[in-house]
A = this chain, B = another copy of it.
Amino acid sequence: MTKQKKHPTLKEVAKRAGVGTTTVSRVINAVEHVEPWTKARVERAIKELGYLPNHAARVLKGHKTRTIGLVVPSIADPFFSSCAEVLQGIARQHGFLLIVLTTHNESAMEREAVNTLIQHRVDGFVISPADAESDELRSLLTRVMVPVVALDRPVAGAVAPSVVADNFVGAEHATHHLIAHGYKRIACLTGEIELYTIRERARGYQAAMAAAGLKAMRNTSIYDCTACESAIEKMLKEPDPVDAIFTLKNSVTVDAFEVLQRMGVPIPEKVALIGYDDFQLAGTVRPSITVVQQPIEELGKTAAELLFRHLKGSSAVAMPAEAKARQQVLLKTSLIPRASCGCRPDPS
């Protein structure tokens, strides 16, 4: 099994069809100037031999791989896997393949990933940078000679167009929503504060609190559930205890929800909760959880479209450099009001 019988080559097809290699190449690429009769013979030979063009040889000659890359922290993350799904769909429509590389938010793996993509001569790629400010990444990306678009997190220095959700306004909006409901002691549980998205959300939270003349209470050390638990316990024991929690990340939302449930703290009566990023059962759980919803599909779709516009455009008019690079798409988030913020009771 898995015998190494060697693939048939174009030359063999040509011989079998009794034509020149050029002719075979022409019928494969649907170029005109070939007699229907000849074409039929070639097609028959192709079928008989089970011939499939050798991609490597094509690339070597033509300098186009019809392949794009996707560099993300994790492909198991529902956010990125959804993006990947739409990206691969659109790529396929254009006749492109998708190569996926994960970084776990480590710059070293990220650099390695980009280099690998260059080596494979991808025609372009989408990247969700671990660190927007990284000089190394920036210089790598300028050296790359192929369209790049940043997804979910921009890269500083206008080195590539980016498609991101408006984390700042999303968080500001959610915080304001809590404030409008009369909550005053609103805490913010962040997750990895070194990430661009989380940082922006934290900024939005702080801006909203400041605008309302309230004191921001941020806890940036929430990585796992036990940390979450002790943080929440502490907040509730204070003389002036927390009356609302804004979580900046999916897993932290779930952790906080579990902890509050386990402690028997009524939501939203004692403590209200809003989470950033929607998830599967947010609306099913009791109480249902109010969240900031990100336009995930649209993020992926926009990134893909941007990339392919550049891919096609590069051979055409080629819009001026700055116009391309500065292209920053900011997508709106939306608040999904449910029970955990006190907006409405759940039916039961």
> A interface vs B, CB < 8 Å?
1-5, 7, 50, 52-57, 59-60, 65, 74-76, 78, 81-82, 84-85, 88-89, 92, 97-102, 115-116, 118-121, 143-148, 254, 257-258, 261-262, 264, 279-281, 284-286, 310, 314, 321, 324-325, 347-348
Contact = CB atoms under 8 A, between A and B. Distances in A.
B285 A284 contact: yes
A309 to B, nearest CB: 12
Contacts of A280: 254, 279-281
26 contacts: A1-B321, A1-B324, A2-B145, A3-B145, A5-B145, A52-B118, A53-B119, A54-B60, A54-B119, A54-B121, A55-B121, A56-B60, A56-B65, A74-B85, A76-B81, A76-B84, A78-B81, A81-B84, A88-B101, A98-B99, A99-B100, A100-B100, A257-B284, A258-B284, A281-B285, A286-B286
A177 to B, nearest CB: 23
Given A5-B145, A60-B57, A264-B348, A82 B88 contact: no
A56 B284 contact: no
A279 B280 CA distance: 9
Contact of A99 (B99, B119, B286, B321): B99
A65 B65 CA distance: 14
A100 B89 CA distance: 10
A281 B282 CA distance: 9
Contacts of A120: 55, 97
Contacts of A99: 97-100
A59 B121 CA distance: 13
Nearest to A264: B348
A116 B325 CA distance: 32
A2 B146 contact: yes
Nearest to A286: B286
Given A75-B84, A98-B99, A56 B2 contact: no
Given A81-B76, A82-B76, A100-B98, A145 B4 contact: yes
A316 B301 CA distance: 45
Given A54-B119, A81-B81, 6 more contacts: A2-B310, A55-B119, A56-B60, A56-B121, A88-B101, A285-B285
Contacts of A76: 78, 81-82, 84-85
Q: What 10 A-B pairs are tightest by C-beta distance, nearest first?
A: A81-B81, A56-B59, A76-B85, A1-B321, A281-B281, A56-B60, A55-B120, A56-B56, A52-B119, A75-B85
Contacts of A310: 2
Contacts of A74: 85
Contacts of A118: 52
Contacts of A281: 254, 279-281, 284-285
Contacts of A121: 7, 54-56
